[in-house]
Structure 1
Amino acid sequence: MKSTTILASLALTLVCSLNAQSQTKLSDLFKKVTGKQTTTTTTASSSLGTPSTLEIGQGIKQALELGVSAGADRLSAKDGFLGNLAVKILMPPEAQKVEKTLRGLGLNSLCDNVITSLNRAAEDAAKEAKPIFVSAIKQMTLTDATNILLGNNDAATEYFKRVTTSQLMQKFSPIVSTSLSKVNATKYYSDLTSQYNRLPLVKPVNTNLSEYVTQKAIDGLFIEVAQEELKIRGNLGSRSTSLLQKVFGYADKKKI
């Protein structure tokens, strides 16, 4: 009887020891697997958060193409300029006294016709802006893209001003001239200045309307591009692809 009790105790001790060893081995194994998985996850996460130079270039180009396309489309639509107070083209500065005087004489419709026609000409010209901007984006170097990503909030807009202004002037000028005639802006403006210049003791007004509208149209485009750039940089919802999220998320961290 005593021998049986002793044997039972030894068996129980052996089982407990084996269980403990098994649990230790399982615990060690779990730690190894968990540790390995954690390392893999961390590496993957790090890779996801740090874009390559090539990804930065692709992301910037993707973002800017989306932005300038949206901006150019808005401005080239009817009332794109006329209905947008930020870019609406008003009378040339030297003609604003003319406008005030003629409105005071009840010639409001003449003044309104001039302003409407100036903006219609700019809307016509804006249709040609998109391919010029897209071409500038395609020619952008990886260094340009990195500088834009990590630069000031207007870095992309300044890049476009530097590389597209001359092309925009060349492209817009004949379009604006044709459009001014098409929408009777030249006639309206001539009527307006003629009415004013007939008044006694006034200094005659002579404006190169085509140059004025061309410059204002280009200024309006850059205002719209700047707004799109701020949207991409500051509005997480505007980062519509995983690449944009990765690239601009990286830029956010670098600027903190």
Structure 2
Amino acid sequence: MKQLATSVLLMATFFLSGCSTLRNVFLSESDAASAIREALILGVNNGSSVLGQKGAFGKDLILNAILPQDLQKVVRTLDQLGFTPQLNRFTTTLENATVETVAKSTPIFLSGIRQLTIRDAVTLVKNGGTSATDYLRRSVGDTLHRAVTPIMRNMLDQYNISQEWNKLVSPAKLLLGNKVELNLGLDNIMALLVVNQMFKKIEEQEVAVRTNAQARTTPLLRQVFGRDWSNVNVR
């Protein structure tokens, strides 16, 4: 009887151990989707931390966003007229508005990821690279942009951006004409800048999670992204 009980115990231990091993060699759609969300959320949090700091959006980045065609001519003319300090103050003010928009927009990104319906999550895990971020961009990128735009509009109004720009360029209008007018869709342009910069940070974090063990800060991230699934069955 004692031998029978011992045998049963050994068989049970072996069975449970086997189940644990089987779980480790299979990647479920549910685990893959949850891990992708964790990686994306980690990217948003890190992106918000970086982009929410003063200096995250430089002068060139901002001017290229709002004056993509005539940037050099406008800046050169303002420099020639001695308005470089005023231009620097303007871009600093616009950057401050942008940084605050990042902070206020972070919950929107997090909510979008948590509500994201992830199809073929196992494939996204296997594809590597920035496939999860690319999926996020395709799925809710436009929605995020639309949600961030009114936040940016509010911040631009608070900082009186249009008025500040008009004061800055009024001496240059005779030389540059309409080229110095701010785009009427400035809120849309700057919101797109915020969204694109955030996606870049999410991409960087995704690559880190996939390639760097230290970036896998949760058990699920270690389980899903800590091994090569290319030749492993899925369930």
**TM-score tier after normalising by the smaller chain length:** 0.7 to 0.9
Mapped contact 1:49–1:249 kept (Cα < 8 A): no
Among 21, 34, 44, the alignment partner of 1:68 is 44
Among 215, 226, 232, the alignment partner of 2:209 is 232
Among 98, 102, 109, the alignment partner of 1:122 is 98
**Separation in 1, partners of 2:86, 2:231:** 52
- Cα separation, partners in 2 of 1:167 and 1:141, compared to 1, 3 Å: closer
Deviates more, 1:223-232 or 1:146-155: 146-155
Mapped contact 1:61–1:145 kept (Cα < 8 A): no
Mapped contact 1:117–1:180 kept (Cα < 8 A): no
The share of aligned pairs that are identical, in percent, is 27
Mapped contact 2:101–2:152 kept (Cα < 8 A): yes
Q: Partner of 1:148 in structure 2?
A: 124
- Cα separation, partners in 2 of 1:207 and 1:137, compared to 1, 3 Å: same
- Cα separation, partners in 2 of 1:231 and 1:44, compared to 1, 3 Å: same
Equivalent position SS for 1:77: coil
- Cα separation, partners in 2 of 1:158 and 1:47, compared to 1, 3 Å: same
Post-superposition CA distance 1:115-144 (Å, at most 9, x none): 212222221221233322223322333524
**Separation in 2, partners of 1:254, 1:66:** 24
Mapped contact 1:148–1:156 kept (Cα < 8 A): yes
**Separation in 2, partners of 1:147, 1:136:** 21
Mapped contact 1:51–1:246 kept (Cα < 8 A): no
Q: Partner of 1:195 in structure 2?
A: 171
Which runs of 5 or more structure 2 residues have no equivalent in the other structure? 1-12
Once the two structures are TM-superposed, the CA of residue 203 in structure 1 deviates from its matched residue by 4.2
- Cα separation, partners in 2 of 1:41 and 1:178, compared to 1, 3 Å: closer
**Separation in 2, partners of 1:142, 1:255:** 22
1:147 maps to a residue whose letter is T
Mapped contact 2:165–2:182 kept (Cα < 8 A): no
Once the two structures are TM-superposed, the CA of residue 152 in structure 1 deviates from its matched residue by 4.5
Mapped contact 2:112–2:144 kept (Cα < 8 A): no
Post-superposition CA distance 1:93-113 (Å, at most 9, x none): 244121122113321111112
> For the aligned residues, what is the CA RMSD?
3.0
Among 17, 30, 44, the alignment partner of 1:54 is 30
Mapped contact 1:75–1:126 kept (Cα < 8 A): yes
**Separation in 1, partners of 2:231, 2:199:** 24
Q: Partner of 2:178 in structure 1?
A: 204
Q: Which has the higher contact order (CA 8 A, sep 6+)?
A: 2
Mapped contact 1:168–1:218 kept (Cα < 8 A): yes
Once the two structures are TM-superposed, the CA of residue 192 in structure 1 deviates from its matched residue by 3.0
Q: Partner of 1:214 in structure 2?
A: 191
Structure whose CA Rg is larger: 1
